[in-house]
């Protein structure tokens, strides 16, 4: 029975019925149960195309199950459960329904076997997720949500254009391996790139995620970009340009994250950095590299959610996530501090934590496939991650100067969600075999070799030493109240100025032309008045002989015209 029901429909049906349920324990229980049921269904489904639907002459494949879609489906269901547990206190129906539809659309896209189904779910994630930003119900959140929605819907429109061209060229809408070289594939590639936050297309992420609600940011961090990673792995594995795009993605966020004061924006930059590792793995395209991409996406959803949860708990208790306003919170929020440290160790790839056993799959493949410069970039980026996420986030939140704040510990359900997520980060790091078994291709890999452990500890040690040196010498950028603009400067400052300049120029030109026109009309009326007014020349009495001459002239003209005709 469940094989004939797309997993996404469980979430959609619940979203429709949820407003009918009373707010409180019953609704919260349902929100926790649905992801668990969906996860069990994903685990149990056999491989193959399970649900096909005829739609305007097209055969839509709603449930294509294989190992790649299964591993992403499982982590998406787990993320939905953990984020709903974290958001147990929420009584806002808008946020609850939006979270269900968002998770359902993302999971539905994973199992889409054709590009039309992918497009429908692709736009579903965009429309539903924006309500997690608007749920803050502030003017700033409204405008941020509009910017986010325009970019996300634009990605879908580009995808639809690519699908149309693909069908015209090939007669197929199958969502399978593609090769760049036609307008159709380039449009689809661009659409995936926008959602994956490619360089120069990325700033919607840093703009929108920190603008969402406390719980909304955690939910947003789990789905959209990882759906794009899955789409790239499904459609463009082995596309070499992705190696270089991914390398740039790992590199540039480091510098912006170091100067950023808002810790949720720091994590957003860090998210972009980690996506770069996955994109590099997709670009390499070997079985081991794609295993690394899937494994790192799985681990990343967990430790990134954990970091967003810990900063979100601080925001929930203190009302701020600005590093310049925090510090010393370990005194009253010790468990949240510990969970944050686990997330920091995981993203920094410390041994015995999840990032160590997943990121190395990708880094080693760059060397094995003879990309030494890319390998060097990834190693440098790994050290940068320790600085801006592994150290900066917990240090300035919990251990830096005493801010004087003494908030209560995070609510119990938030602690439980963070505790489960932290436990999973440690379990994957200590015993990665169950995760490796879920990966798309057979894998025989031991992360805990002597050389790998020593190399990673040396890298982390030198990165930590560099951070201490920068802090002691005052070179490290201070945490100050500021707003840092990235490429969003183009559409938040530059374009508005250009538009304002054009508007001013056109308005001035229009005003002057209107004034000139008014003067011309006034002069014409004055002249007409002088000629045809009561005292004008035309209004004077004319001699009878003059009138006879005018009549004779008119008759002559009429006769001439009649003769010529």
**pLDDT at position 70:** 95
| pLDDT level of residue 460 (50, 70, 90 thresholds) | confident
Does residue 389 contact residue 307 with C-beta atoms inside 8 Å? Answer: yes
Task: Look at residue 332 and give its three-state secondary structure.
Answer: coil
β-strands 58-61, 64-65 pairing: unpaired
Mean pLDDT taken over the chain: 89
**pLDDT for res 534:** 65
Query: Would the pLDDT of 508 be above 90?
Result: no
Its pTM stands at 0.86
Q: What is the pLDDT at residue 476?
A: 65
Average pLDDT over residues 279-299: 95
Instruction: Please write the tens of the pLDDT for every residue from 30-73.
Output: 999 999 999 999 999 998 888 888 888 888 899 999 999 999 99
370: left (phi over 0), alpha (psi -120 to 50) or beta: left
Range from 15-19, 54-58, 351-355 carrying the lowest mean pLDDT: 54-58
Domain assignments of the chain as residue spans, ordered by start: 1-234, 237-480, 493-533+541-564
The two three-digit tokens of residue 30, written as one number: 């349902």
CA 514 – CA 103 distance, rounded (Å)? 55
Can you tell me whether residue 55 is helix, strand or coil? strand
Average pLDDT over residues 75-88: 95
Average pLDDT over residues 344-355: 92
Lowest mean pLDDT among 359-363, 429-433, 487-491: 487-491
Give the percent of the chain with pLDDT over 70: 93
Beta pairing class for 52-55 and 48-49: unpaired
């Amino acid at each position: 029975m469940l094989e004939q029901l797309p997993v996404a429909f469980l979430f959609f049906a619940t979203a429709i019925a949820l407003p009918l349920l009373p707010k409180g324990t019953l609704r919260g229980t349902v929100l926790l149960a649905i992801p668990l049921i969906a996860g069990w269904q994903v685990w149990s489904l056999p491989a193959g195309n399970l649900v096909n639907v005829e739609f305007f002459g097209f055969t839509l494949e709603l449930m294509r199950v294989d190992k790649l879609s299964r591993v992403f489906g499982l982590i998406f269901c787990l993320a939905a459960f953990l984020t709903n547990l974290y958001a147990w206190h929420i009584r806002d129906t808008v946020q609850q329904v939006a979270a269900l539809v968002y998770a359902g659309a993302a999971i539905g896209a994973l199992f889409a076997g054709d590009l039309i189904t992918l497009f429908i779910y692709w736009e579903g994630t965009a429309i539903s997720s924006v309500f997690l930003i608007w749920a803050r119900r502030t003017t700033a959140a409204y405008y941020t949500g509009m910017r986010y929605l325009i970019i996300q819907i634009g990605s879908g429109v580009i995808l639809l254009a690519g699908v149309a061209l693909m069908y015209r060229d090939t007669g197929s809408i199958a969502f399978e391996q593609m090769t760049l070289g036609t307008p159709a594939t380039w449009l689809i590639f661009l659409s995936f790139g926008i959602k994956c936050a490619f360089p120069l297309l990325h700033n919607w992420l840093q703009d929108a995620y920190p603008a969402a609600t406390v719980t909304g940011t955690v939910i947003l961090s789990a789905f959209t970009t990882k759906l794009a990673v899955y789409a790239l792995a499904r459609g463009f594995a082995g596309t070499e340009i992705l190696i270089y795009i991914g390398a740039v993605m790992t590199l540039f966020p480091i510098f912006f994250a170091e100067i950023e004061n808002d810790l949720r924006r720091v994590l957003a930059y860090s998210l972009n950095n980690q996506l770069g590792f996955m994109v590099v793995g997709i670009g390499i395209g070997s079985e081991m590299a794609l295993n690394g991409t899937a494994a790192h996406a799985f681990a990343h959803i967990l430790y990134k959610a954990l970091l967003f949860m810990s900063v979100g708990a601080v925001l929930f208790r203190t009302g701020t996530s600005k590093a310049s306003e925090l510090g010393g919170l370990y005194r009253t929020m010790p468990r949240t501090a510990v969970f944050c440290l686990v997330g920091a160790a995981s993203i920094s790839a410390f041994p015995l934590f999840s990032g160590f056993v997943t990121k190395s799959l990708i880094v080693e493949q760059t060397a094995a496939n003879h990309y030494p410069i890319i390998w060097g970039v990834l190693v440098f980026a790994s050290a940068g991650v320790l600085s801006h996420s592994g150290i900066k986030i917990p240090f300035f939140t919990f251990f830096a100067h005493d801010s004087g704040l003494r908030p209560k510990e995070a609510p119990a359900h938030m602690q439980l969600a963070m505790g489960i997520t932290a436990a999973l980060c440690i379990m994957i790091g200590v015993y990665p075999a169950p995760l490796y078994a879920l990966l798309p291709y057979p894998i025989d890999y031991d992360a805990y070799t002597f050389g790998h452990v020593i190399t990673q500890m040396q890298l982390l040690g030198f990165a930590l030493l560099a951070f201490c040196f920068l802090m002691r010498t005052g070179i490290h950028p201070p945490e100050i109240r500021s707003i840092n603009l990235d490429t969003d400067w183009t559409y938040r400052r530059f374009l508005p100025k250009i538009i304002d300049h054009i508007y001013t120029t056109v308005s001035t030109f229009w005003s002057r032309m209107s004034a000139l026109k008014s003067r011309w009309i006034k002069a014409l009326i004055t002249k007409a008045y002088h000629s045809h007014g009561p005292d004008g020349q035309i209004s004077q009495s004319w001699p009878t002989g003059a009138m006879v001459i005018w009549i004779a002239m008119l008759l002559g003209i009429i006769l001439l015209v009649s003769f010529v005709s």
